[in-house]
Amino acid sequence: MRTVARGFAIALAVALAACGGAGSTGTTSSNSYQGKTIQLGAILSITGAGGVYGPSSQKGMDLAVEKINGSGGVNGAKISLDTKDDASDKAQSAQVAQTLIQQGQLLALLGPTLSNSAVAVHPLAESFKIPILAVSTTGIHIVPDCNFPKTDPCKYVFRDSLGEESAIPTNIKVYSDAKHPKTGVLMVANDDKFSSDGGKIVQNTVGSYGIQLLDTVQFSKTTADFATPVTKAVQKKPDVIFITSLGGIPAKIMIEARKQGFTGQFLGGNGFNTAVVSKQAGDAGKGAESGSAWYINNTFASNAGFVQAYRAKYSADPDQFAAQGYAAILVLADAAKRANLTFSDTAGDRTKLRDAMESVNIDTPLGRFQFTSNHDVKQTIWVIQMDGNGGFTLVKSVTPS
Amino acid sequence: MDFFIQLFTDPVGFYNQHELLIAQIGINAILAISIFVTFYSGQLTLANAGFMAIGAYTTVIMSLYLPTPLPVDMLVGALLAAAIGFLVGLPVLRLRGVFLAIATIGFVEALRLGVILNVPITGEGQGLKNPSADPLGGILPILISVPILTYLVWRLTHTRLGQAWAAIREDELAASSNGINVPAYKMVAFVISALVAGYAGALETHINFFVDPTEYSVTRTIQILTFAVVGGTTNVIGPIVGAVFLTALPEIVRQFAAYRDVVNGIILILVITLTSSDRLAVCTPSMTCPWKSRKAPSSA
């Protein structure tokens, strides 16, 4: 009787182990993952100028790690995420990246938050041959030419954040097709890479849609009072004011412009796409449009589940940066699942992970997610507008060709 | 605490993991030497970030457009900073104390907002990528430069030139009465300071991949000033110690996470209030300094 019971127990254990393996992996490599840890590092701007965005990214990533580990991990391996604050400082960002890369067994990095920091961190990651996934950097020369002006593509740098080169032109096209504006004024913070990149993109795009750029008003991102630059823009009586700037500046400009009687349209980029900016702009921002990587009210399962879990954990609505952070962990987990990691050869595992990242094709809160051959995000662009109450409504979705 | 434990128990591992931090400490030490030279000669000048920008941009632009080797680019960057330092010094060094400080801050902002952000060759707000950057390879020249510059400036303070600077610092009128050519000696200090700052800027581009105008703002100027305020200015080691301490501090307190800035600030306040009073020795009896007027009533 005892022998029969022991045999039954062994058979049950084997069956359960087999079910567990097949259920969580779908591959034959699960045994090497069991009990192991996939170590990831994130460099985010929790404080400083990027502090509007970094904490959201961190919350999204933490939620994804919790969800994956809570449902059995990646083929049985747990994800460990070590997040470091770079204080929105390029030098600190590079220092933190170097420390993270060289201190342990990290398989991949995420971040940094700001494009200004990415120009220092991404080439470093490339030189160390460690995959790095940008989660909020939207400027020019992030992928594939992280070593610009050198033209050879960076093999280890990926981006899951929608670049301004995609978001801004799509937004302008959607608005032009609907409203046919004739004139515009560009307001751009000229002492910041993200903003300057956005300004160049606007200047290069408007002509294609028959919009005459009446003026480009430049200002410093440290400007406290926007009355003067806004006056310069408003007195041109444009149909559209384009704003490319970070943090709370777009909201300040919108409030000042409405105060000065501007009744036209505001168009912008990723700088608009957080609830913080929408709340700050309030009624003045109502109708302001931007191209976004994500829309909160999308009802497809991968987004609805994310929004629900985020609300349950943080008692607040997520924003685009949280969604991109969450998606980044899903992307890395999917790649790790298929990469046949050894957990003994870190350099080899990093290359395997990089190779697997190129073929990611999963559902995320951003929609169906793939990388282009240039390692940039290939996803639907959600053109959204501020609702005047701190939220956004969907104008149109544009699927990549 | 982990920072110190690793530093003392695994110095090789510490070095490997913190090369860029050590390199940044070296750059800031060179900037501290730069501001020491002008402070030692009794001048409250705050143009270092501007001269740094000239050195940095010149090096990167030459790397982008000329086939010259990197050391030549860096040398030209430093020399150009010194030359512009001379031109700026002609009108500016007529001023003293806080007026001189304000004028030199004005130079930094004029350079950043007026030139860098408006001349296409600088990349304007988008900045410039340095094609010859080598962050980990760039640490060696920095580590070599710091002791050499420290020694040279320390030696300089013990020559006739250094004694003249000290005399001007203690009492400009008395120094002039004793036959010291005050404007000339001040100009020499200002140009040397510009040369060293330009060299620091050129070196920094080698570890940072990128130059952009946000790095050379008043914030950077204040940071350099803080090295001298914390470390003291009676000898060249003081500002260097200030630079090492302040650059490493954010890493030392990293374990405090969200409270890092608060702890950072508290430590800074404690250091400034509790350590010796030789800092800001640059504010001499002959100068108009805001903090001096606060002390005056107690001595009256």
Task: Give the distance from residue B112's alpha carbon to the nearest chain A alpha carbon, in angstroms.
Answer: 9
Closest-CA residue in chain B for A102? B17
Residue A125, domain member (yes or no): yes
Residue A312, domain member (yes or no): yes
- Split at pLDDT 50, 70, 90, the class of B276 is low
Write out chain A in H/E/C secondary structure. CHHHHHHHHHHHHHHHHHHHHHHHCCCCCHHHHCCCEEEEEEEECCCCHHHHCHHHHHHHHHHHHHHHHHCCCECCEEEEEEEEECCCCHHHHHHHHHHHHHHCCCCEEECCCCHHHHHHHHHHHHHHCCCEEECCCCCCCCCCCCCCCCCCCCCCEEECCCCHHHHHHHHHHHHHHHHCCCEEEEEEECCCHHHHHHHHHHHHHHHHHCCEEEEEEEECCCCCCCHHHHHHHHCCCCCEEEEECCCCHHHHHHHHHHHCCCCCEEEECHHHCCHHHHHHHHHHHCCCEEEECCCCCCCCHHHHHHHHHHHHHHCCCCCHHHHHHHHHHHHHHHHHHHCCCCCCCHHHHHHHHHHHHCCCEEEECCEEEEECCCCCEECCEEEEEECCCCCEEEEEEECCC
Say if residue A157 is in the same domain as residue A194.
Answer: no
Task: Give the distance from residue A377's alpha carbon to the nearest chain B alpha carbon, in angstroms.
Answer: 22
Chain A environment of B129 (Cβ under 8 Å):
119, 141, 147-149
Please tell me which of the candidates B125, B136, B210 has its beta carbon nearest to residue A196: B125
Per-residue pLDDT of chain A (401 residues; tens, 9 = 90+): 455 445 444 444 443 344 333 333 344 444 589 999 999 999 999 988 788 789 999 999 999 999 999 999 999 999 999 999 998 888 899 999 999 998 778 999 999 998 889 988 999 999 999 999 999 988 888 888 888 877 788 999 999 999 999 999 999 999 999 999 999 999 999 888 888 889 999 999 999 999 999 999 999 888 889 999 999 999 999 999 999 988 789 999 999 999 999 999 999 988 888 888 899 999 999 999 999 999 999 999 999 999 999 999 999 999 889 999 999 999 999 999 999 999 999 999 999 999 999 999 999 999 999 999 999 998 889 999 999 998 899 999 998 77
Say if residue A94 is in the same domain as residue A199.
Answer: no
What pLDDT does A18 receive?
40
Domain with A206 in it: 165-292+383-398
Residue A3, domain member (yes or no): no
Residue A324, domain member (yes or no): yes
Say if residue A285 is in the same domain as residue A314.
Answer: no
Say if residue A277 is in the same domain as residue A318.
Answer: no
Residue A157, domain member (yes or no): yes
Q: Per the CB < 8 Å rule, is B20 touching A95?
A: yes
Chains A, B: CB contacts within 8 A come to 92
Residue A211, domain member (yes or no): yes
What is the number of structural domains in chain A?
2
**A387-401, B20-34, B189-203: lowest mean pLDDT where?**
A387-401
Say if residue A104 is in the same domain as residue A171.
Answer: no
Please tell me which of the candidates A123, A191, A199 has its beta carbon nearest to residue B209: A123
Could you tell me which residues are beta bridge partners of residue A243?
Answer: A187, A268
Residue A242, domain member (yes or no): yes
- Average pLDDT of B90-110? 92
Chain B environment of A147 (Cβ under 8 Å):
129
What pLDDT does A339 receive?
96
Say if residue A197 is in the same domain as residue A313.
Answer: no
Q: Best residue in B21, B119, B210, B246 to probe A by mutation, most A CBs within 10 Å?
A: B210
Residue A331, domain CATH: 3.40.50.2300
Say if residue A228 is in the same domain as residue A186.
Answer: yes
- Average pLDDT of B132-139? 82
Say if residue A306 is in the same domain as residue A232.
Answer: no
Say if residue A153 is in the same domain as residue A128.
Answer: yes
- What are the distances in angstroms from CA B92 to CA B190, B287, B289? 10, 16, 17
Q: Per the CB < 8 Å rule, is B250 touching A87?
A: yes
Say if residue A49 is in the same domain as residue A127.
Answer: yes
Say if residue A152 is in the same domain as residue A212.
Answer: no
Residue A245, domain member (yes or no): yes
Say if residue A133 is in the same domain as residue A191.
Answer: no
- Average pLDDT of B198-209? 91
